[in-house]
Structure 1
Amino acid sequence: MGKFSWDMNLKVRLIGEGLFNLLFWMYFPFITVYFGEALGYHMAGLLMAVPPVFSMLGSLLGGALADRLGRRPVMLLGTLLQMVLFACFALSPSYWIDYVSFIGIGIGGAIYRPASSAMVADLVPEKHLRQVFATFSTSNNVGAVLGPALGAIFFFHYRQELLWACTAILLLYFIAIYRLIHETLPASLNGEREAKSVLNVFKEQWQGYGIIFRDKVFMVYIVAGIFALIPIMQLDLYLPVYVMNHVPAQTLFNWKANSVTLSSKEIFGWLVGFNGLLFVLFILPVTKWFQHWKERNVFILSSLLAGAGTFFVGVNSNIWYLFLITIIFTFGEMVRSPVTQSFISRYAPGHARGQYMAADSLQNTIGKFLAPITVFLSTWLPSIGIFSLILGFSIISIMLYIQLFRMDVEQQVTL
Structure 2
Amino acid sequence: MVSERPGDDGIWATLRDSSVPVRAMLVGVLVNRLGAFLQVFLVLFLTNRGFTDVEAGFALACYGAGSFAGIVLGGALADRLGPRYATLLSMIGTALLLIVVLYVRALPAVYVSVLLCGLVAQLYRPAAAALLSELTPQHQQVMIYAIYRLMINVGTTAAPLLAALLITFSYDLLFWVEAGAALVYAVIAAITLPRRKSSDKSGKAALDGGPKGYRAVLADRRFVLYLAALFINSLVYIQYVSTLPLTIQDAGIATFWYSILISLNGFIVITCELLVTKVTQHLPIKLVVIAGFTLFGIGQALYALPLGVAILVIGTLLWTIAEIVGGPTMMSYAGVVAPERLRGRYISSMQTMFSLGAAVGPALGTAGYHLLGRNVWLLFGLTCLVGMVFALLGMRRPTDSEPARTEPDPAEPEETPPTSTTPPAAPAAVADRQEGPQPT
Which band: TM-score by shorter chain? 0.7 to 0.9
Match of 2:276 in 1: 286
Structure-2 change in CA distance of 1:183 and 1:206 (3 Å) = farther
Match of 2:232 among 227, 233, 236: 227
Q: How many residues align?
A: 383
1:4-403 aligned at under 5 Å gives the runs 4-24=16-36, 28=40, 38-39=53-54, 54-88=66-100, 90-91=102-103, 103-147=115-159, 161-178=173-190, 180-183=191-194, 185=196, 189=199, 192=202, 207-239=212-244, 245-246=249-250, 250=254, 264=255, 268-313=258-303, 315=305, 322-374=312-364, 377=367, 380-381=370-371, 383-403=373-393
- Structure (1/2) with the larger helix percentage: 1
Contact 2:211 2:219 survives alignment (8 Å): no
Structure-2 change in CA distance of 1:395 and 1:152 (3 Å) = farther
TM-score in terms of structure 1 length: 0.74
Which one-letter code corresponds to 1:182 in the other structure?
A: L
TM-superposed deviation, 1:136: 1.3
Contact 1:213 1:219 survives alignment (8 Å): yes
TM-superposed deviation, 1:111: 1.6
TM-superposed deviation, 1:319: 5.9
What CA deviation, in whole Å up to 9, does each residue of 1:198-234 have, x standing for no partner? xxxxxx9982321221111111111111112212223
Structure-2 change in CA distance of 1:354 and 1:26 (3 Å) = closer
Structure-2 change in CA distance of 1:309 and 1:119 (3 Å) = same
What CA deviation, in whole Å up to 9, does each residue of 1:53-94 have, x standing for no partner? 544443232222222222111111222343344445555769
Structure-2 change in CA distance of 1:210 and 1:313 (3 Å) = same
The percentage of aligned residue pairs carrying the same residue is: 22
Structure-2 change in CA distance of 1:50 and 1:371 (3 Å) = farther
Aligned residue for 1:361, secondary structure, equals: helix
What CA deviation, in whole Å up to 9, does each residue of 1:34-62 have, x standing for no partner? 99x9349xx97x99887665444432322
Match of 1:256 in 2: none
Which one-letter code corresponds to 1:21 in the other structure?
A: R
Which one-letter code corresponds to 1:305 in the other structure?
A: L
Contact 2:166 2:174 survives alignment (8 Å): yes
Structure-2 change in CA distance of 1:384 and 1:321 (3 Å) = closer
> 2:297, 2:59 → 1: CA distance?
24
Which one-letter code corresponds to 1:211 in the other structure?
A: A
What CA deviation, in whole Å up to 9, does each residue of 1:164-187 have, x standing for no partner? 432332232223323x223253x7
TM-superposed deviation, 1:5: 2.2
Unaligned stretches of 5+ residues in structure 1: 197-203, 251-263
Structure-2 change in CA distance of 1:312 and 1:94 (3 Å) = farther
> 1:404, 1:333 → 2: CA distance?
19
Structure-2 change in CA distance of 1:97 and 1:272 (3 Å) = farther
Structure-2 change in CA distance of 1:61 and 1:144 (3 Å) = closer
Contact 1:66 1:115 survives alignment (8 Å): yes
TM-score in terms of structure 2 length: 0.70
> 2:41, 2:372 → 1: CA distance?
22
Aligned residue for 2:17, secondary structure, equals: coil
Unaligned stretches of 5+ residues in structure 2: 1-9, 405-440
Structure-2 change in CA distance of 1:101 and 1:375 (3 Å) = farther
Structure-2 change in CA distance of 1:361 and 1:84 (3 Å) = same
Contact 1:145 1:273 survives alignment (8 Å): no
Which one-letter code corresponds to 2:192 in the other structure?
A: I
Aligned residue for 2:122, secondary structure, equals: helix
> 2:343, 2:260 → 1: CA distance?
38
> 1:213, 1:169 → 2: CA distance?
35
> 1:55, 1:62 → 2: CA distance?
10
> 1:379, 1:96 → 2: CA distance?
35
Aligned residue for 1:292, secondary structure, equals: coil
Structure-2 change in CA distance of 1:90 and 1:305 (3 Å) = farther
Contact 2:304 2:376 survives alignment (8 Å): no
> 2:116, 2:262 → 1: CA distance?
24
Aligned residue for 1:183, secondary structure, equals: coil
Which one-letter code corresponds to 1:118 in the other structure?
A: A
> 2:109, 2:292 → 1: CA distance?
37
User: C-alpha root-mean-square deviation of aligned residues, in Å?
Assistant: 4.4
TM-superposed deviation, 1:287: 0.7
